Every structure is written in C-alpha cells, then in structure tokens.
Structure 1
Amino acid sequence: MEPQKSLPEPRQPEGCLVAAVRIPVRIVVLVLVVPVRMVWDALVVAWRFLNDTVFRPLGRALLWVGRALFVWPFVGLWRYVLVPVGRGLGWLGKVLVVVPLGWAYRYVLTPVGHALAWVGRGIGAGLTWLYARVLTPIGQACMWVLRGIGAGLAALGIGVYTVVAWLVRYLFVVPALWVYQWVLTPIGHAFLWVVRGIGLALYWITRVLFVLPALALWRWVFVPVGRVLAVIGREIWDALGHAWRVAGRISLAVGRFLGTLFRWIFVEPVRWVYRSVLTPVGHVVRDAVLRPCAEAARSVGRATRQALASARESARQARADFRRMVFGEPRKREAVARREPRGAETRTLGSSTTALTKD
C-alpha cells in the first residue's frame, strides 16, 4: 500500500487590509528596487571583470613577489645558514659542555655523593640510637608529669566552668528569653500586621493606577497596532523579495539586450571587417608582398653567403700563394718503411691460415 502524500496546508484566508496593502506596496517597492537591483548587477559584473582581469593577476604577482622577498630568503637563511650553524653549535655544546659534565658527574660527583651518603647513613644511625635510647625515655617522663598537671588543671577548669555557666544562665539567658517571649514577639507581630496592611494597600493602589491601565493599553492598543504593523511589515518583506526577483529578471533582460546591442553595434561589425576585409587583405599582402620579400631576402642571404664563402676561399688561396712565393714550397715528408705485419688476407676455400696446411 503506497504511503499517502501529505497534502499542502490550506492557506489562511486574508482580510481586506492585507489585500488593500499588498498591491500598492508591491508597486512602490518594485519601482524603488528595480534601479537598485540594476546597479547591484552592474557592480557585480564590474567586480567579476576586475577580479578576473586585475585583482587576481595582481594578487598572484604580489604573492610571488612576497614569496621572492620574504619566504624564499628566510627559507634559504634557515636551510643554508641557521641549520648548519645550529648543528655546529650543538656539536660544540656537546663537546665543550655535555661531555665534560658527564665525565665530572661520572668520575667526580658520583664518588663524592656515595661518600656523603655513607657518612649520612652513619650519622642517621647515631641519631636513631640517640632518639631510641635517650630522647624517648626523657619524653615519656615529661609526658607523665604533664598528664598529672593537666588532670589537676582539668578538674579546676570544670569547676570554674560550672560556676560561670550557672551565673550566665540565670543572669543573661533567662532574662533575655523572657524579654524575647513577652516583649519583642508581640511588638514584632504588631509591626508585621501593620507592614502587611501597608503592602496590601500599596498593591491595590499600584494595580488600580498602573497595572490595569497598562494591561488595557497593551490589550486594546498595542496588540491591534502591532498586528497591523506586522501585516504591513510582512507584506513589505514579501514585496521586497518579489520585487528583487522581478528586478533580477528585468536586469537580466536589460543586460542581455545591452549585450546583444553591443554585439550587433560593435562586435559583429568588427568581426565582419576582420573576416571580410582584413583577412583577404592580409592574405593578399602575404602572398603578393611578404612572401616575395621573404623569398628575395632568402635569395639575397644565399647569394651573400656564397659570395662570402668565395671571398674566404680566394683570401685563403692568396695567403697560400704568398707563402709559397716568400718561403717556397714546403718539404715533403719522406716515406718511412715501417716493419709492421700486413693485415690478414681474406680466407678462401683453397687457402689456409695454419702453418701445416699453408701453401
């Protein structure tokens, strides 16, 4: 069985005040909101354009400059200066401080500490014997004497306390209880009755003069006015939302219209001029002027390189002729017979390279 779909809540009936307020408020709000929304959309488009073309590249450039000026120098300083210096100082501290202190602790302080501990144990044993054999009996004797003195003083104190307690009871406590019971209690009851009467009178005066008028003002003035203001405020808020959405659509339509107008007035003519005029002219200039000029330049370059090569060859030949004319022909080196084994001949079917089968 399919679950039943929840029905939408029925809309509460609206009064004539809501219907009378809604349409004028929406018209006024729409007239006021449309320019604001169009200015807002224009600012958003301008901000996106500036963010994409100016602020983001500028931020990346500033970030790179910040890295180059602050981060990379500090990283290089840390990696190539402070870390090696810290390691060197750590090694020096270990060699100059830790190792000597460890040696002094192991070979000086530890034996001295053991000796002091042995002396302390001896002194402690002597003090323990003195406490157990001398001070303890003396303390026990003193405590016995003090107990006797304390017992006498306690008996004397109990007697004095009994006398003082009896005097305080019959001189202060009993009269004070009589005064509280037969004097202060009736006076307090009468004062409390008077205070209650005054409080009740003040309560009714305050209720009649302030509470009931304030309650009537709240119930019959503030609540209806608040409901009317709440209806007006809710309608203004709904009208603002509705007007903002409508203004967004109007702004979008105006933006599309302006974009289309800009496209047909500027972009399409420029594109047509580029495609129909500049491109053919550029092709003509390329085929009729630039390519022949480039070919002529390449031909001139090849001719120039050939002329320079011929000039270099002529200069080299002239220098060689001048040297032969001044210094004569250079001596030819005599061929020296070198006693080197000839290369192995090619092996064929009728020959052999071994000494036994060699012809």
Structure 2
Amino acid sequence: MDLEKRPERQQDPEGCLAVAIRIPVRIVVLVLVMPVRMVWDALVVTGRFLRDTVLRPVGRALLWAGRAVFVWPFVALWRYAVVPLAKGLAWLANVLVVVPLVWFYRYVLTPLGHAVAWVGRGIGAALAWVYARVLTPVGHACAWVLRGIGAVLAAVGTGAYVAVAWLARYLLVVPAVWLYEWILAPVGRAIAWCARGLVWLVSTAATGIGVALYWTARVLLVLPVIGVYRWILTPVGRVLAVVGGEIWNALGHAWRIAGRISLAVGRFLATLFRWIFVEPVRWVYRTILTPVGHVVRDVVLRPVAEAARTVGRATRQALATTRESVRQARADFRRMLSGAPRQPEPAARREPTGRETRTLGSSTTALTKD
C-alpha cells in the first residue's frame, strides 16, 4: 500500500473561450464524423471479407500459376538441359583443349624453353666478358677525358660569371636602389596618404546615409509590422490555436464515440440479420428438413440402395454364369474340332508305388528287392 500521497497532475488552465466552444464543437464534429466512421467501418468489414474470400484464394492461385509458368519450367530447363549440356561442354573442352595444351606445354614448350634458357645463358656470359674486358676500360678512359674537359669549362665559366655579376651590380642594381629610395618611395607614401583620406571621407558619408536609411526603414516598416504582429496577429493566432486544439480534440473524441456507435449499430444489424434470416433457416432445417430427410432416408433411399445392391449382385452372378457357359462352350467346340487332348502316359518309376511292411529278409529298395 502506498502511504505517500501522489501529487496530482497539474493541468493547464483553460480559458473561457475553450470552455464555451468545447461542447458545440464536439457536437458538430460528431455529427460530421459519424457518417464517415460508419462508412469506414463498412469498408473495413467489406475489405476483410474480400481479403478472406476472394483476394487470398486468388493470390494463392496466381502464385501457383506463376510458379507453374515461370519457376518450374526454368528449374526443369536448368536441371535437365543446362546442367547436362554444361557437363558435356566441360568434358569436350577438357578433351579438345586442356589435354592438347598440357601435352604441348609438357613435350614442346618445356624443352624449347630449356634450350632457349641455355642459349641465353651462353649469350649472357659472352656479353659479360665483353663488358668486363672491353667496355669497362674504354668507359674509364672516356670518363677521365671528360673530367678534364669539365674542369677547364668550369674554370672558364666561373671567371665569366664573376665578371658579369660585377657589371650587373654597378650598372643595374645600384642605380635601381637609389631610384627606389629617393623617388619611388616618397611618391608612394604621398599617394597612400591621399587614398586613406579619400576612403575615410567615403566611409563617413556612407555611414551617415546608412544610419538615416536604417531609422527611416525602422520607423516606416519595422515598427508598424511589430505593432501588427503584437496587437493583431498574436491574439488572433492564440484564438485560432485554441479553436484548432478544441477541433482536434473534438475530432478524436468524435472518432472514438462514432466507433462505439458504429460497433453498436453493426451488432444490432448482425443480430437483426440473425433473427430475420439465420434463425428461421436454422429452425426450418432443424425442425422440418432434418426429420423429412431422415424419413426419406429410411423409407426411400435405404430400400432403393438395398434393391440396387441386390440387382448388382444378381447381375454379377448372371455375368459370371454367362462367362462360365461361354468358356465351356468354347472348350466343347475346340474339343469337337480337334478331338480330345491326349492324356500324358505315366512314366515308369523305379521307386515302389506303395510302402510295404519291412521284414528281416526283405528290402524296401527297388534295386535290391527280390
């Protein structure tokens, strides 16, 4: 048992407008939603009935037909045509391609490769001897000559570079530095000071114009919009929010109430249908048709069935007798035409025909019998 008292749920305070429009709105919404809910429930019942009685069997039939038309032929084609054909082609490719290629590789390419490798090793040894005994000394001599020529050219180039650098320093660099320090730098500073002043003037003028335009737009546009939003749109929005919330809640309540009413109406109609159609049919079947059927079964059907069975047995016996008579007549006719069949002669038997009493001086064997 919970000894502590649970805090009650805090509910949002409701205004007088919500309380005033709640009941009328719910009544109107219930009147509007009720037909929709009943139609919806009728459609749901109809859809379930169609799903269970029509769509599901049709779907199963279509599924079976699809399997029979699309799946099973391809499975049979794959199993009894493609797979044996592929196995045959694989065997044929093995016999016609793989085995000849293996033989060609083993008995032609391998010996040829060994021969080419032996020749290549001989040529490589010859080239190595030429490189070591001929090309290396010649290369060393050429390198010594080229190093001497390079040293001479480097000395000449160094002297020429020093001379050209001295001339360029005193003919180009020194005059250019003097021109930059005493002419270009002062002129550039003056131009930069003038540009900064012009930029300050333009920015000041633009700032003043921007402030004036800002306050003009604020007074003419922003403040009226804020006033309209604050004093007109906000109250109207709150009223519409309250009305919309009540309408939404009313729709929910109306939908649930309409569902209960629709359920009650459906049960009433089902009961009415049961008492108008089902119960009379059941009563007629139970009290009239069943006794009549029993009487018909006992008085008519069973005697008729027994008579039919008797007739069937008599017919079968008559047919059997007729077949036996026909068979006997055929045998008599055959005997009349070809005579009686010869009886087989009994063969001489070495064994005694009957069992005799055995005595001390007699024997039961035919070979030793006196």
In 2, Cα distance between equivalents of 1:211 and 1:343: 146
- What whole-Å deviation, never above 9, does each CA across 1:266-286 have from its counterpart, x for those lacking one? 111111111111111111111
Match of 1:305 among 312, 316, 319: 316
- CA 1:56–1:155: 2 relative to 1, 3 Å: farther
- 2:230 is matched with 219
Stretch moving more, 14-23 or 80-89: 80-89
Question: What pairs with 1:145-224 in structure 2 (closer than 5 Å)?
Answer: 145=153, 149=157, 152-153=160-161, 156=164, 159=169, 162-163=173-174, 165-166=176-177, 169-170=180-181, 173-175=184-186, 177-224=188-235
Counterpart for residue 133 of structure 1 = 140
Aligned-residue offset at 1:210: 1.4
Is residue 268 from structure 1 mapped to residue 268 from structure 2 by the alignment? no
Asked if 1:256 is matched to 2:256, the reply is no
Cα distance in 1, alignment partners of residues 5 and 90 from structure 2: 77
Moved more, 121-130 or 235-244: 121-130
Query: Which residue in 1 is equivalent to 2:258?
Result: 247
Instruction: Report the aligned-residue RMSD.
Output: 3.7
Amino acid paired to 1:313? E
Paired AA for residue 67 in structure 1? R
Distance, in Å, in 1 between the alignment partners of 2:213 and 2:312 is: 120
Equivalents in 2 of 1:172, 1:79: separation in Å?
Answer: 99
What is the distance in 2 between the residues matched to 1:23 and 1:178? 85
Shift in Å, 1:23: 1.0
- Distance in 2 (CA, whole Å) between partners of 1:81 and 1:322 is 60
**CA separation of 1:143/1:37 partners in 2, compared to 1, >3 Å: closer, same or farther?**
farther
Alignment of 1:45-60 (within 5 A): 45-60=45-60
Q: 1:150–1:11: structure 2 CA closer, same or farther, 3 Å change rule?
A: farther
**Distance (Å, rounded) in 2 between the aligned partners of 1:5 and 1:139:** 110
Given the superposition, is the C-alpha separation of residues 211 and 282 from structure 1 closer, same or farther in structure 2, using an over 3 Å criterion?
same
- Output one character per residue of 1:153-208: Cα deviation in whole Å (capped at 9) or x when no partner: 47735627634752662487515532343211111111111111111111111211
The runs of 5 or more residues in structure 2 that have no matched partner are 357-370
1: CA distance, partners of 2:276 / 2:138: 117
Alpha-carbon deviation of 1:146? 5.5
- Farther off after superposition, 172-181 or 214-223: 172-181
Q: After the TM superposition, which of the residue ranges 87-96 and 13-22 deviates more from structure 2?
A: 87-96
Inter-partner Cα distance in structure 2 for 1:32 and 1:261: 26
Please state if 1:290 is matched with 2:274: no
Distance 2:75 2:181 in 1: 93
- Counterpart CA distance in 2 for 1:344 and 1:177 is 162
Q: Aligned partners of 2:4, 2:240: CA distance in 1, in Å?
A: 39
Instruction: Figure out how many residues of one structure are paired with residues of the other and give that number.
Output: 345
* One-letter amino acid of the counterpart of residue 164, structure 2: L
Does residue 337 of the first structure (1) align with residue 348 of the second (2)?
Answer: yes
Return 94-103 or 126-135, whichever deviates more: 126-135
Question: Cα distance, 1:57 vs. partner?
Answer: 0.7
Change (3 A) 1:2 1:33: closer
1:316/1:72 Cα in 2 relative to 1: closer, same or farther (>3 Å)? closer
For residues 222 and 212 of structure 1, what CA distance do their matches in structure 2 show?
14
Q: Which stretch of the first structure deviates more once superposed, 184-193 or 168-177?
A: 168-177
SS state at 1:19 partner: helix
Q: Does 1:86 align with 2:81?
A: no
Deviates more, 1:24-33 or 1:268-277: 268-277
Structure 2 residue aligned with 1:107, among 103, 106, 110?
A: 110
Higher mean displacement: 331-340 or 87-96? 87-96
Task: Quote the residue 2:30 is aligned against.
Answer: 30
Distance 2:282 2:13 in 1: 59
Gap change, CA 1:332 and 1:98, over 3 Å in 2: closer
1:11-41 CA distances to partner (integer Å, 9 max, x unpaired)? Answer: 1221110011211111111001010000000
> Using the alignment, how far apart are the partners of 2:212 and 2:225 within structure 1?
19
Give the distance between the partners of 1:122 and 1:191, measured in 2 at CA. 89
Counterpart of 2:11 in 1: which secondary structure? coil
Q: Residues 296-353 of structure 1, C-alpha deviation per residue, up to 9 Å, x if partnerless?
A: 00001111111222222333333444445555544332221233599999xxxxxxxx
> Please, which moves more after superposition, 128-137 or 178-187?
128-137
Letter in structure 2 aligned against 1:190: L
Deviations 1:19-78 (A, max 9, x none): 112111111110010100000000011111111111111111111111111111112222
TM-score normalized by the length of structure 2: 0.79
Identity %: 56
> Partners of 1:267 and 1:147 in 2: how far apart?
128
1:86 positional shift = 2.8
